[in-house]
């Protein structure tokens, strides 16, 4: 199953989003990576890397960032990971944080592959609520 990593400046936001996603997409593998190493607001490439390792069951991992340095940290990490040579498949979703996470986790728990899970997250940009 494709794993999902939720990257936020806030550990509470990442953890809460993961909890919500787990309720809607039962069975999904969702790992929060929020805040800095010492629990402040910010992002940590170490925490993100650990979350990727925890989320990865061999079918790939989708990163869902909130904004700003979450995106930059994820990009920096992706550059370091060099997904091709390491054999891991890690992708970064360009999607709204909560909605993208829910859509991705539902798709992942339904057994879809990383490309389809990433598409599900990114389709969240265009879905109206009202």
Partner 1 sequence: MSANSEARHAIDAVVRVVVLPKHLHARPAGQLAQLAARHPSTAIELVAGQRRANARSVLAVMGLGAVTGTEVLVSAAGPGAAVAVYEICRILAAPETED
* Site track for partner 1 across 65-104, x = CB under 8 A: ----------------------------------x--xx-
What six digits make up the tokens of 55?
Answer: 């989320």
Question: Quick check: 56 and 5 in contact, CB under 8 A?
Answer: no
Q: With binding defined as CB under 8 A, does residue 38 bind partner 1?
A: no
Question: Quick check: 106 and 116 in contact, CB under 8 A?
Answer: no
Nearest to 71 by CA among 49, 43, 98, 99: 43
Q: With binding defined as CB under 8 A, does residue 14 bind partner 1?
A: no
Q: 3-state DSSP call for residue 85?
A: helix
Please count the residues of this chain forming the interface with partner 1, following the rule CB under 8 A: 21
Q: With binding defined as CB under 8 A, does residue 53 bind partner 1?
A: no
Q: Among 42-50, 62-70, 71-79, 116-124, which window interacts with partner 1 (CB under 8 A)?
A: 116-124
Residues in the chain: 130
What six digits make up the tokens of 103?
Answer: 């859509």
Give the distance from CA 110 to its chain's centroid: 17
For the question of residue 118 being annotated catalytic, the response is no
Contact with partner 1 (CB under 8 A) among 33, 109, 114, 118 = 109
**Residues in contact with partner 1 by the rule CB under 8 A:** 23-27, 99, 102-103, 106-107, 109-112, 120, 123-124, 127-130
Residues that are catalytic: 9
């Amino acid at each position: 199953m494709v794993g999902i990593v939720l990257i936020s400046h806030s550990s509470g936001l990442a953890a809460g989003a993961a909890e919500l996603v787990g309720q809607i997409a039962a069975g999904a593998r969702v790992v929060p990576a929020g805040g800095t190493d010492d629990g402040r607001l910010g992002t940590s490439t170490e925490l993100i890397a650990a979350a990727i390792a925890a989320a990865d069951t061999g079918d790939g991992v989708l990163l869902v960032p909130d904004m700003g340095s979450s995106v930059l940290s994820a990009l920096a990490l992706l550059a370091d990971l060099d997904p091709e040579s390491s054999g891991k498949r890690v992708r970064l979703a360009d999607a709204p944080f909560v909605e993208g996470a829910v859509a991705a986790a539902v798709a992942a728990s339904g057994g879809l592959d990383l490309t389809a899970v990433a598409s599900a997250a990114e389709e969240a940009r265009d879905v109206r609520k009202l």
